[in-house]
Structure 1
Amino acid sequence: MPDGHPARVRALLDDLDGRSAKAIGDAAALVLEAVAAGGLVHVAGAGHSLALVCETFYRAGGLACVRPMWDPSVFPLNDAPASTEAERRPGLGQAVARAADPSPPDVAVVFSTSGRNPYPVEIARECMGRGVPVIAFTSPAASARAAARAESRLTDHAAIVIDTAVPPGDVVHPPGAPRTAAVSTILAAYAWTRLLTELHDLALERGLDLPCWTSANVPGGDERNRHLLERYRHRVPELGGAPD
């Protein structure tokens, strides 16, 4: 019996491409300027958006100049209900951003499907206030239906908004009354990898060599990564535990 779910996901990916192709290209150009100038890419998210932070950090094919902005309290595996409360707690996002201390020529990326909780909003606001442009991966459609827990939205504090096309409520199955099969991780991860491909092509056009990790599970991977660890570990504390 044919399953409509794969077709639904593919349609959402096409929707994302239609909505955000230009924004992704603009974001790739912004990231390239930051990387070329020696800046870091600060990346933030809470709850399941931390899956996207993990996708950007210390990842085969990913940028080595990524620094996660996060707090253990927003990590669901520690205490799931408490992580939801932490994302809604005023002041935490601002404290996290201040501790990371981003400054030009850095750039920030904030993942939040709803963009309505204080944590991502405060991080974006603090970064923009420091002259660090923010790229928001969010869904305006989901945001419009989400409970307003902050005085503003993530999109109000972003230089570039990438619409991930996530429907309100995230789930898509069954189509008439969806209760399961969340798609936000799939869509945001796709948008990020598409940004990386455009970033690579722009760098190639300019003759720039991007600092990208190689899989540690292929021959020579550890050796290729060693110089990147030494280059960035003093600026990215989360690389401090990596092997020499």
Structure 2
Amino acid sequence: MPEIFPERVRALLDELDARSAKAISTAAALLLDTVEADGIVHVAGSGHSLALVFETFYRAGGLALVRPMWDPAVLPLPDALRSTRAERQEGLGRTVVQAASPAPPDVAVVFSTSGRNPYPVEIAQECAALGVPVIAVTSPKASIRAAARTETMLADHATVVIDTTVPPGDVVHPAGAPRTAAVSTILASYAWSRLLADLDDLAAERGVEPPRWVSANVPGGDAVNRGLLERYRHRIPELTGAAEVLSSFHRQAGPQ
């Protein structure tokens, strides 16, 4: 009997656990070092990998010290074709890192299934050059089969590589000739949630309480989140819209 979609996803999740358990544990330790040193977790992705940036930022149960590191041009919603051009544009990733100015004890997390477009590769490369550890959430087997638009891959610049096990082309159904049912978001989201779980266990061992967002839909959530907003609003301008205002100012006051 042909393998059905739920079985294929469960098999890939098991493969991710087997391949990346150690890497996720190492990444959790890097994140906790940043938490203890009062640093910032800079998170990047482009195209549909931005879904993972959304998953990390301002999310119930998520770390409050996460800052999205991105350029609006890589968001598909207002202009899908522009987003594809942007992630293939040389120099944009470097510009994004320069604007965010990460520095130790910060850490960077870069999501990219293929890891072969200039945008995520440059972000990882620039962060590493600044002494900022890079956690790459990517699929080496997808990278090998992807179009080579850069001399190196995202994984080449990473301190830790979390293998999401996403197959080349992303789709997995039907099993014999896959053409639909992409799994990259499912697998990368799971990897991030498992990373947070490992971080929580390690933090408990060290007696550390990471700053976490609480759902606004539970009693007391708004009060907890107000305190976190006050603590991080000046270091993470995206929390209050200040980043959009600053970006607009730079566009208007740019080179004449």
- C-alpha displacement of 1:241: 3.8
Task: Write the distance in 2 (CA, Å) between the matches of 1:181 and 1:40.
Answer: 34
State whether structure 2 residue 217 is matched by structure 1 residue 217: yes
TM-aligned CA deviation for residue 3 of structure 1? 7.7
Map residues 58-207 of structure 1 onto 2, 5 A cutoff: 58-207=58-207
Q: How far, CA to CA, are the matches of 1:208 and 1:223 in structure 2?
A: 21
Paired position in structure 2 for 1:14: 14
Task: Write the mapping of 1:19-38 to structure 2, written as runs, cut at 5 A.
Answer: 19-38=19-38
- Aligned residues: percent identity? 74
TM-score by length of 2: 0.93
What does residue 247 of structure 2 align with?
A: none
Give the counterpart letter for 2:56 in structure 1: T
> C-alpha offsets along residues 25-49 of structure 1, whole Å, 9 cap, x if unaligned?
0000010001110100000000000
Q: Separation in 2 of the partners of 1:65 and 1:19?
A: 28
Deviations 1:73-97 (A, max 9, x none): 0000010011001000000000001
TM-score by length of 1: 0.97
- Name the aligned partner's letter for residue 9 of structure 2: V
Contact 1:102 1:127 in 2 (8 A): yes
SS in 2 for 1:34: helix
Distance 1:78 1:97 in 2: 23
Contact 2:2 2:175 in 1 (8 A): no
Cα offsets for 1:5-55 (capped at 9, x unmatched): 111100000000000000000000010001110100000000000000000
* Superimposed CA distance per residue, residues 141-183 of structure 1 (whole angstroms, 9 cap, x where no aligned partner): 0000000001211011000000000000000001111110000
> Any gaps of 5 or more consecutive residues in structure 2?
243-256
Give structure 1 stretches of 5+ with no counterpart: none
Instruction: Tell me the distance in 2 between the aligned counterparts of 1:177 and 1:233.
Output: 48
Residue 119 (structure 1) shift? 0.0
Distance 1:112 1:211 in 2: 26
Distance in structure 1 (CA, Å) of the matches to 2:241 and 2:71: 17
1:190 and 1:167 map into 2 onto residues whose CA distance is 16
Contact 2:28/2:199 (8 A) holds in 1: yes
* Match in the other structure for 1:48: 48
Whole-Å separation in 1 of the counterparts to 2:3 and 2:15: 20
Comparing 1-10 with 170-179, which one deviates more in the overlay? 1-10
- Measured in 2, the distance between the counterparts of 1:67 and 1:171 equals 30
Kindly state the Cα deviation for residue 126 of structure 1 after the two structures are TM-superposed.
0.4
Q: Secondary structure at the match of 2:178?
A: coil
- Equivalent runs, 1:231-242 vs 2, <5 Å: 231-241=231-241
Q: Is the 8 A contact 2:134 2:160 kept in 1?
A: yes
Amino acid at match of 1:105: P
Amino acid in the other structure paired with 2:238: E
The CA distance in 1 between the partners of 2:218 and 2:38, in whole Å, is 28
| Letter paired with 1:143 | S
Say whether residues 1:57 and 2:54 are aligned partners.
Answer: no
Asked if the contact 2:3–2:175 (Cα under 8 Å) also holds between the matched residues in 1, the reply is no
Q: Give me the CA root mean square deviation.
A: 1.3
* SS state at 1:67 partner: strand
> Distance in 1 between the 2:40 and 2:206 partners?
19
CA contact (8 A) 2:138 2:161 kept: yes
**How far apart in 2 are the matches of 1:173 and 1:33?**
40
The secondary structure found in structure 2 opposite 1:229 is helix
Cα distance, 1:140–1:2 mapped onto 2, change above 3 Å? closer
Q: Equivalents in 1 of 2:71, 2:122: separation in Å?
A: 13
How far residue 2 of structure 1 moved from its aligned partner, in angstroms, is 9.6
